[in-house]
Every structure is written in C-alpha cells, then in structure tokens.
Amino acid sequence: MQFNKWNNLLNNSFVNNYQLPNYLYEFQRQNSSIFKIFEKQEFIEKFIETFIDEDLDNFKDDAELQEAELNVFGEMIRQEVEAQPTSYQDGSNFDYKQLTNGLLYALFLIVFFFAKNSDTFKDIHEAAVFFINQIDCKGVTISRINLRSEPSFSSEVLLPIPKNSVLIIYDESHNGWVKVKVNLNNIDVEGFVSKAYIRRLE
C-alpha cells in the first residue's frame, strides 16, 4: 500500500478545512445501507472506472478532490440509495441530506482506498476503521484547563485537564471552542475546551 500517498490525501487542505467530524463512527453504525452500497461489486467497479482509471488516480502531494468530482460521487450514492427497496435499508432511515461535503469527501477517500487496496481489507467497514484512525487530529494543552460539557464557560465542568496533556481534536465549529477527547487515568472523556488554550500537533 502507498501509505505516503494516502497520508498526503488525508492531510491536504481540503481535509483540514472541513475538519472531518467525529460522527463518522456514528454515521457508519447508524447508516449501514450506505456501506452496503459500497460493498456492491458493481458500485466499486463503476467507482474505479469513473475515478481510478481516469486522472484522479494520479494524485500529487498537494492534490485536492475538486467539487465536480465530489458531485459525481454524491450522485452515484444518491442513485443507489433511491434504487434500494425499503426493506434493504434496515430501518436506518437514511436521509441523503446528511451527506455534507466534508462527510462525502471522507466517504470518497474510504471507497478510494478500499478500491485500491481491496486485497488488504476484508471489507469496506475495515477500510473505514483504518480511515477514521488515520484522521485523528492531536493537540496539547498549553495550560491547565477545564473540560466542559458544552462549548461555553457557563457549562458544567467535567474535569480539569493538566498542562501538556495530549488531546484528540474533533472539530472547530463552536465559536472558538473545540470538541475533544482526553484520556486521563486510562479513561476516555469527551467534552469541550477553548481553543485558545490548546496547540495543534503536526
């Protein structure tokens, strides 16, 4: 597998700008019908024909997936979703509108990587787990701070976090607050901290 090439894709500016969300885990669990689409050999073959056999196979270090290609991929998913009988959707009640650009890009990279390395992963779910583990963004606290239940100084304090603690950072969409996960005493705790008191790790 071309891990250097894969890391370049994960770390390009498109990925960083969208701050791919931590709900990808939950999305995978709740929307099994979407991942069943990716398990279909016909879909993978169409994906390869559309993207991998064309110029998108020649990613450069700073390459970014363009909006036009993203729209084509989204349309492929929409057509498959609409073609599925209700009984095939396992009651997941999937709403196509859930596919934001950031999530659509994440799904594209999962399918792209799975299609290129299908002999390495037993199924698309295993490739998705690999992807999620690769996009964890880490940071460190620059002072002692409080982990809070909501993105507000008035919210409940869950626990204090010592200076120089390593965090997993999920996103930055809360008006100067970030959702994080911290492991203290071998227990993972999620909450919010002010981004003024953390520094991202490269």
pLDDT confidence tier of residue 118, bands split at 50, 70 and 90: confident
- 131-186 pLDDT, tens digit per residue, is 766 666 678 899 999 999 999 999 999 999 999 888 888 765 578 898 888 888 87
- 16-33 pLDDT, tens digit per residue, is 444 454 546 556 655 666
Go through the domains of the chain in sequence order and give each one's CATH number. 3-134 (no CATH), 137-200 (2.30.30.40)
Report the chain's C-alpha Rg in angstroms.
19
Q: State the pLDDT at residue 3.
A: 43
Q: State the pLDDT at residue 17.
A: 47
What 3-state DSSP class applies to 64? coil
DSSP 156: P
Inform me whether the pLDDT recorded for 196 exceeds 50.
yes
Residue 83 buriedness (CB in 10 A; 0-12 / 13-18 / 19+): exposed
pLDDT confidence tier of residue 36, bands split at 50, 70 and 90: confident
Residue 126 tokens, joined:
């295993």
Provide the CA 52 distance to its chain's centre, in angstroms: 21
DSSP 94: -
DSSP 145: E
Provide the CA 61 distance to its chain's centre, in angstroms: 20
Q: State the pLDDT at residue 61.
A: 41
Sheet holding 166-174, edge to edge: 157-161, 145-148, 187-194, 177-184, 166-174, 137-141, 198-200
